[in-house]
Amino acid sequence: MSEPILSARAVRKTYQSGDRRIEVLSGVDLAVERSETVSIRGESGSGKSTLLNLLAGLDKPDAGEVIWGGGLGLDVRSTFLGMVFQSFYLIPELNALQNVLVARRIVGGIGSAERARAKDLLARVGLAERSHHLPSQLSGGERQRVAVARALMNQPQLVLADEPTGNLDERTGDSVIELLLGLCADTGTALVLVTHNAAHAAKTSRQLFLHNGVLQSAPKPIQP
Amino acid sequence: MPWYFYLALKQLFPTGRKFPFFTFMSGLGIAVGVALLVVSTSIMGGFGYEIRRMIVDTQGEIQVVAQGAISRPDEVIARVEKVPGVVAATPSAQGVVMLEYRNKPSFPAIQGVDLATVSKVIQLEKYVRLGSLDDLDDDSVILSASLARSLGASLGSQVELYSPLLIEKLKNDEVFLPRTVKVVGIFEIGHQQLDQSVVISTLRLMQDLYGLGADVHHINVRIKDGANEFEVADAINRVLPGRDQRAITWFEANADFQSVLRFEKYMVFFLLSFIVVVAALSIMSSLLISVVRKTREIGLLRALGGSGRQIAACYCVQGFLLGIVGTLGGLIISWLVIYYRDQIVRVVAGLTVGQRVFLEFYQFAHLPSHTTSFDIVVITVGSIIISTLAGLLPAWRAARLEPVEALRSE
Ligand SMILES: Nc1ncnc2c1ncn2[C@@H]1O[C@H](COP(=O)(O)OP(=O)(O)O)[C@@H](O)[C@H]1O
Ligand SMILES: [Mg+2]
């Protein structure tokens, strides 16, 4: 088996709130292979976002380690990773095309090749005609599709999606997931998808559950 | 273009928005401050410049003065004119006389000028509005406009001059008749005080009236354009024959007046610069609000790979750009105000006190303005720096946000 593109080993995270310590992650192990799609489900507050932020290198684990691509540094985050969030996070002053391009701007310069790529991505998420619209002129589903295009702009090896359909109605959510999975499959990009939706999870190659601070491959045991 | 510069530009001038209201309002404060600073320093500078011009036009850049009278002025003039930087010198005598026209007395200042040389030094003919300097002789005078107006005298009027010497003579029971002279000109310099009550006569007439003989009071000196009046005055001081004789510049001759003007200018500058500071504080508060409002976007930018320092730069750049926009706007406003200042003054005066009343208090016939590039540079650079500083606190707040916390915030 080839080297995993992302691995987490014995990752722990504890939050201090007041004088209460909450251990949210108590030893998470995860290995994601190239082009693999993994879904993570779990109750609200079970630590899914916390885990995703650790995987993204936005936060540091209290113990354990997260390794990218066999040892890449944090400085490659923007080209190694793409992220999609529940509430889109588009920049309101920029139109759809500019929002997609911003991911590239932060990494380096913009040329005609990058513009063409951004337009192509917008076309692939079905927004070719809307590329000059501001986020405020787009529906929720359209905004999330712009965010998907942005996540893929830098040709990442891995996309982390945190409940990308959480703010969308069911049908819109389905189509966004369809697009995300399709694009990842086309480009050979690995995906970690946090979701509450069993149907969406079922479309990924591996389904995991976060329960009691650890990842497991079966839903939480039914309480007696 | 670095991405944080691009984003700063876009936040101030959003895509597809025709009128960036936030940017306009933030820039407006700076613009008003800058405009007020430029206009007021220009007007203050204008007063100073006009006064200098009038003084220099009517007195020359340098005057040679003495404790008493200057005897043998020709000798002094010959020495002075040899000094490098000096163009010409002319003798003059000053005093006060009583002037009577149709039994109406007045007590104007009188200046006796040497007809042969005066025009090389003093621009009198420029200010003679009626009649001509050429008609002036030992039996005629030129009156300032407001003196002529208050006496009701005009060209051709015969007026009588009584000198202080007359009183001396009376004490000795001597008879000394007043001189009857003809008005051959009316002059107006444009400064109420300078035009108030002045008579110009020939030096000979003045010497007669004051019993000066061949002596004079001052020697007025014109220097080359661009020559430094202080250096030339020093050089003249080294060649003056009399111990009590001294060359002073127009600036020293009017030192009290000049330092008051300068002090006023600094005070106005100091006070008005607070408008820019207040405007910068309002920029700071709106940028701080923007940081709070955009916390999640800041988190996203961090997630996309932006560093805290670049986020900070984005806010500093916004302060800087607002400073530039505001300052440019202010310069444009101030240019318009200065260009239309007379119209503006007329409208404002008309609405408030009425034009006539206003002009009576008002020293100049036109609102003068003299903008120095030094003032402009100080104001421009200062307000841009202050605006950029206003971005620092918001920038620091934005940079300090933890990406995870920023993304979590609702
Ligand atoms: N900064 C924080 N301080 C204290 N508690 C936190 C913080 N961030 C998250 N938590 C807590 O950690 C738990 C997991 O949160 P999160 O990862 O957002 O859950 P999920 O995404 O699965 O809903 C929650 O109980 C939450 O209240
Ligand atoms: Mg969550």
Chain B residues close to A102, C-beta within 8 Å? 3, 7, 301, 304
Chain B residues close to A85, C-beta within 8 Å? 300, 407
Kindly tell me if the per-residue pLDDT of A222 is higher than 90.
no
Confidence (pLDDT) at B385 = 95
* Local confidence band at B357 (pLDDT 50, 70, 90 cut-offs): low
Kindly tell me if the per-residue pLDDT of B363 is higher than 60.
no
In a domain, B57, yes or no: no
Confidence (pLDDT) at B195 = 75
Kindly tell me if the per-residue pLDDT of B365 is higher than 70.
no
What mean pLDDT value characterizes chain A?
91
Report how far residue B59's alpha carbon sits from residue B65's, in angstroms, rounded to the nearest whole number. 12
Kindly tell me if the per-residue pLDDT of A223 is higher than 60.
no
Same domain, B89 and B136: yes
Residue of B3, B14, B300 with shortest CB distance to A89: B300
Same domain, B175 and B276: no
Same domain, B82 and B29: no
The last residue of a domain, from among B187, B221, B243:
B243
What are the tokens at B190? 């444009």
In a domain, B194, yes or no: yes
Pocket of ligand 1 (CB under 6 A): A 15, 17, 22, 24, 42, 44-50
pLDDT tens by residue, B146-199: 899 999 999 999 999 998 888 788 888 777 788 899 999 998 887 766 777 889
| For ligand 1, mutation pick of A50, A59, A62, A196 (most atoms within 8 Å of CB) | A50
pLDDT tens by residue, B339-351: 998 888 878 777 7
pLDDT tens by residue, B78-108: 999 999 999 999 999 999 999 999 988 999 9
Handedness of CA A123, A127, A130, A133 (dihedral sign): negative
Q: Which of A172-181, B66-75, B312-321 has the lowest mean pLDDT?
A: B66-75
Confidence (pLDDT) at B56 = 85
Kindly tell me if the per-residue pLDDT of A19 is higher than 90.
no
Same domain, B32 and B136: no
Same domain, B29 and B81: no
**Closest chain B residue to A103, measured at CA:** B304
Decide which of B227 and B399 is more confident: B399
- For the segment(s) A36-46+74-217, the CATH number from 3.30.70.980, 3.40.50.300, 3.90.1170.50, 3.90.550.10 is 3.40.50.300
**Which atom of ligand 1 is found nearest the CA of A50?**
17
Best residue of B10, B290, B297, B304 to probe chain A, by most A CBs closer than 10 Å: B304
Give the A-side interface with B, CB within 8 Å. Answer: 49, 53, 56, 58-59, 77-79, 83, 85, 87, 89, 91-95, 98, 102-103, 105-107, 132, 134
CA of B393, closest CA in chain A: separation in Å? 22
**Which residue is closest in CA terms to ligand 1's atom 5?**
A15
- The total number of structural domains in chain B stands at 2
Same domain, B190 and B285: no
Q: How many interchain CB pairs under 8 A, A with B?
A: 62
What mean pLDDT value characterizes chain B?
89
Subunit contact A105:B297, Cβ cutoff 8 A = no
**Which atom of ligand 1 is found nearest the CA of A163?**
21
Subunit contact B11:A93, Cβ cutoff 8 A = yes
Kindly tell me if the per-residue pLDDT of B234 is higher than 70.
yes
Average pLDDT over residues B197-220: 92
The model's pTM is 0.79
Average pLDDT over residues B35-59: 86
In a domain, B252, yes or no: no
Kindly tell me if the per-residue pLDDT of A2 is higher than 80.
no
CA of A105, closest CA in chain B: separation in Å? 5
Confidence (pLDDT) at A104 = 93
Chain B residues close to A79, C-beta within 8 Å? 305
Confidence (pLDDT) at B185 = 93
The last residue of a domain, from among B186, B214, B243:
B243
Same domain, B146 and B88: yes
**Which atom of ligand 1 is found nearest the CA of A47?**
17
pLDDT tens by residue, A58-81: 999 999 999 998 777 777 778 899
Same domain, B322 and B177: no
Closest ligand by atom to A53 CA:
1
Confidence (pLDDT) at B216 = 94
> How remote is the CA of residue A198 from the centroid of ligand 1, in Å?
22
Can you give the three-state secondary structure of chain B, one letter per residue? CCHHHHHHHHHHCCCCCCCCHHHHHHHHHHHHHHHHHHHHHHHHHHHHHHHHHHHHHHHCCEEEECCCCECCHHHHHHHHHHCCCEEEEEEEEEEECEEEECCEEECCEEEEECCCCHHHHCCHHHHEEEECHHHCCCCEEEEEHHHHHHHCCCCCCEEEEECHHHHHHHHCCCCCCCEEEEEEEEECCCEHHHHCCEEEEEHHHHHHHHCCCCCECEEEEEECCCCCHHHHHHHHHHHCCCCCCEEEEHHHHCHHHHHHHHHHHHHHHHHHHHHHHHHHHHHHHHHHHHHHHCHHHHHHHHHCCCCHHHHHHHHHHHHHHHHHHHHHHHHHHHHHHHHCHHHHHHHHHHHCCCHHHHHHHCCECCCCCCCCHHHHHHHHHHHHHHHHHHCHHHHHHHHHCCHHHHHHCC
Strand order in the sheet with A63-68: A20-32, A6-17, A63-68
> How remote is the CA of residue A194 from the centroid of ligand 2, in Å?
8
Confidence (pLDDT) at B82 = 92
Average pLDDT over residues A84-104: 94
In a domain, B124, yes or no: yes
The last residue of a domain, from among B216, B243, B270:
B243
Its domain, for residue B294, covers 3-52+257-408
Confidence (pLDDT) at B362 = 55
CA of A77, closest CA in chain B: separation in Å? 6
pLDDT tens by residue, B370-408: 888 999 999 999 999 999 999 999 999 999 999 999 988
Subunit contact A107:B299, Cβ cutoff 8 A = no
pLDDT tens by residue, A23-60: 999 999 999 999 999 999 999 999 999 999 999 999 99
Kindly tell me if the per-residue pLDDT of A224 is higher than 60.
no
Best residue of A58, A81, A99, A158 to probe chain B, by most B CBs closer than 10 Å: A58
pLDDT tens by residue, B282-295: 999 999 999 999 99
Same domain, B232 and B284: no
Which residues partner with A17 through β-bridges?
Answer: A20
